[in-house]
Amino acid sequence: MSEIIPGLGNEWSLLLGLGVLLFIGLLLLVDRLTLRAAIKWEEKEFKDVTDSAALAARLKQNGRSATAKILSIAEIGKKFQIGASMMRAGVTITLEVSSGYGKPYQTTVIAYLSPFEMNKVAVGATVPVRYDPQDPSKVSLVDVGSPFENYDSGLIKK
């Protein structure tokens, strides 16, 4: 009987072949686990963005108008882009909302702002907002911060 790999015995050739198959299987497993982790991470990141955009869309239709003074702005380290649109940076904005009903109150919103929108918001500025009359802590900026404002993908539940 001839050897499978010349110069190696049949036993060693079979062990080498089995080792190669195990190595390939391990690479495929690691690739699959890495892909799953990446998909879960992207789903979480995307969910944060869509939740923020869905709230803005809902408040645009059903919320009440108010004004808010910007108390602070901090980048949260997330960036978001749809297709060829402009990159948007995630920020938390602490607001003092004056609704005209009761005392002004503070709340924090997450917004995804383009560089142009960043110029519209500054600490100390007064901006228009919409808020949920049932839960006044739910606030969105008017005309800034929604990456889906001019994008209809069907992903946002209004």
What is the tens place of the pLDDT at every residue in 102-115?
A: 899 999 988 888 88
- One-letter amino acid identity for 43? E
Question: What does pTM read for this prediction?
Answer: 0.61
155/136 Cα distance (integer angstroms) = 25
Number of independent structural domains in the chain: 1
Which long-range contacts does 134-137 make (Cβ < 8 Å, 24+ apart)? 136/97, 136/99, 136/105, 136/107, 137/105, 137/107
Please give the residue range of the domain that contains residue 48.
Answer: 1-158
In the predicted model, what is the mean pLDDT of residues 118-147?
A: 83
- Computed on alpha carbons and rounded to an integer, the radius of gyration of the chain in Å comes to 26
Note the pLDDT tens digit of each residue in 4-21: 566 666 777 777 788 888
Q: CA 143, CA 96: separation in Å to the nearest integer?
A: 18
**β-bridge pairing 139-141 and 88-98:** unpaired
Strand 88-98 relative to strand 105-113: parallel, antiparallel, unpaired?
A: antiparallel
